[in-house]
Amino acid sequence: MKALILVDLQNDFCPGGALAVHEGDQVIPIANRLIPQFELVVATQDWHPANHGSFAAVHYMKRPGMVIDLNGLDQVLWPIHCVQESFGAEFHPTLNQAGITKIFPKGTDKGIDSYSGFFDNGKRKSTGLSEYLKSEGVTQVFVLGLAADFCVKFTSLDAVSEGFETYLIQDATRGVNLNPDDTENAFREMNEAGVNLISSSSMLV
């Protein structure tokens, strides 16, 4: 059994959003074409309280891009984004949401960030995604979404370590690129960890 994992296809990661990823919205039509090919489609949703510790604005004299210690973990600071119930946290309006079987919110605890759809950044708590996929008999996962060098990367790496045969749909992701080659490096890191890098064109029926 295979599953499609849609990572953070939310307004704030698309052009015009608070943490806009260059060409982030270009992955949405690819997602919409792939969704009908899967019996099981899960979506992760970055879903922060308004005072989340990853927001630069909640720390004295801090700016986005700076790194702090947040409860023992290095934390890159971000603009305020994906606040629960806000427009920015909603899925992109053109995404085929009816095709989504189950949504997994993450980043809900203000004291710890969660890039992966499976665990928080300290691997302290599970979101329930791994247990859910296993209970549904999933052995293969196909990952796409935003952002390639953060949430997509950590979701894919955790998928491998949770024992799933993992495919990253490379043309259906875009990166933040705090450094210009972050996305390239993320692809290499995923590949070295056993993630299969594929193109959506190889999956279209």
Q: Is the Cα dihedral 192, 115, 150, 29 positive or negative?
A: positive
φ and ψ at residue 176, rounded to 5 degrees: -70, -40
- By CB under 6 A, tell whether 46 contacts ligand VGL: yes
Query: Hey, which residues between 53 and 92 contact ligand VGL (CB under 6 A)?
Result: 78
- By CB under 6 A, tell whether 147 contacts ligand VGL: yes
Which listed range, 23-31, 145-153, 158-166, 196-204, lies at the site for ligand VGL (CB under 6 A)? 145-153
Which listed range, 42-50, 89-97, 137-145, 197-205, lies at the site for Zn ion (CB under 5 A)? 42-50
Reading the block at residue 102, the tokens are: 């189950």
Reading the block at residue 134, the tokens are: 């296993």
- By CB under 6 A, tell whether 187 contacts ligand VGL: no
- By CB under 6 A, tell whether 164 contacts ligand VGL: no
Q: Between vectors from CA 150 to CA 149 and to CA 152, what angle results, nearest 5°?
A: 85
- The CB-of-61 to ligand VGL minimum distance in angstroms stands at 20
- By CB under 6 A, tell whether 143 contacts ligand VGL: no
Q: How far apart are CA 168 and CA 198, in angstroms?
A: 6
Q: How far apart are CA 53 and CA 186, in angstroms?
A: 24
What are the residues binding ligand VGL (CB under 6 A)? 8, 13, 19, 46, 78, 146-147, 150-151
